[in-house]
Amino acid sequence: MNDTFLKACRGIKTEYVPVWFMRQAGRYMPEYQKIRQKYDFLTMCKTPEISAEITLQPVSILGVDAAILFSDILIPLEGMGIKIQFIEEKGPQVIPTIRKASDINLIKEIELSEVDYVFQTIKILKKTLKVPLIGFAASPFTLATYLIEGGSTKEFVNTKKFMFLEGKSFHDLMQLLTKAMRKYLSEQIKAGVHVVQIFDTWAGILSPFDYDLFVKPYINELINHLKEVPVIYYCSNTAGLSSNLREINADVLSIDWRIDMRQAAQIFKNQPLQGNLDPLTLLGSEEEVLLRTKKILIDGQLAKSHIFNLGHGVNINTSVDMLRRLVDFIHEFRIKEVPNA
């Protein structure tokens, strides 16, 4: 197995910078679209053979150093008595919504047997993959926002109203979700993933004070129960929370493009870093893409170790050829001298 990615996760400097992309298995890829024409999104997630096939596509087509399980962060809610739907042009929908303390009773403890297809997909992939497999889950807070808002939103009014009006109940919800994600990720590890990534997609909506109060204790509790494999923590809108993130116990911190890689390496000393090209850069010219990539690769040498990734997921309009050229550039890039800190 190509273990370059795993070495970087453990803080080991590697011969070349390993690379994979969030949402690397998805809508921008023609091979994915062919499958999507036959099945709806949830059917693809729930059919292990299809999910495994989609997971493998970018590994063979792009030559990335890791595969990430094709699934969705909302999937475990189905094991907790919550219905999820994916509606074209509207996005994910969660039923019922959790808007007050008594609503928390609508959520049951996770039944892993109800999402067993996830673990079956991992077992299939273990037989064929020649690169490490990344399992994943949403953070308790990000999962809570979908439960409270009922889907995607821009202002998170209901989430913050719940937090600030019924703080104790919000903590109860966070504890319930932390326990569920611990079980869910532990079962992924048992099935055979080599690394897990926690997606805290919406934690950046919070002030540093509220991040420390409502997010950090639960993230650290979750990570502390997942010691069998390296844990990557991804938090969007990283810049405003940089001081807070220094106290997260993850093996790797994945940052978005809103913070400079050199600055991040100075803030998070002795911390493996993952990131952090703006995904929409890939819609520009190859010259501009490689210019920014080279800077990230050079500055990433200041970190304990570096895994190249985007600051968010691959955009649907991204060219497969552009991504393939980017992977080749990263694999071939060598730095003779470490830049000055």
Bridge partners of residue 135, in order along the sequence? 196
Instruction: Say if CB 38 and CB 106 are below 8 A apart.
Output: no
For tokens 């990230």, the residue is 296
Instruction: Say if CB 259 and CB 274 are below 8 A apart.
Output: no
Q: Is 99 designated active site?
A: no
Q: How far, in Å, are 16, 32, 41, 50 from residue 37 at the CA level? A: 37, 9, 10, 13
> CA–CA separation, 258 vs 267, rounded Å?
14
Residues in the chain: 341
Q: Is 27 designated active site?
A: yes
Structure token pair of residue 147? 């439960």
Q: Give the burial class of 276: count Cβ atoms within 10 A of its Cβ; 0-12 exposed, 13-18 middle, 19 or more buried.
A: buried
Question: CB 27: neighbour CB atoms within 10 A?
Answer: 15
Question: Which of the residues 3, 16, 72, 103 is marked catalytic?
Answer: 72
Structure token pair of residue 240? 């405003």
Ramachandran angles phi, psi of 87, nearest 5°: -110, 130
Cα dihedral 100/105/111/114 (nearest 10) = -70
Question: Which of the residues 3, 16, 36, 260 is marked catalytic?
Answer: 36
Q: Is 36 designated active site?
A: yes
Structure token pair of residue 274? 């993952």
Question: Which of the residues 3, 16, 27, 292 is marked catalytic?
Answer: 27
Q: Is 324 designated active site?
A: no
Q: Is 172 designated active site?
A: no
> CA–CA separation, 341 vs 322, rounded Å?
31
Instruction: Say if CB 67 and CB 56 are below 8 A apart.
Output: yes
235: nearest Cα among 186, 273, 279:
273
For tokens 């063979």, the residue is 60
Question: Which of the residues 28, 32, 65, 146 is marked catalytic?
Answer: 146
3-state DSSP of 146-174 = HHHHCECCCCCHHHHHHHHHCHHHHHHHH
Question: Which of the residues 23, 32, 65, 184 is marked catalytic?
Answer: 23
Residue numbers annotated as active site: 23, 27, 36, 72, 146
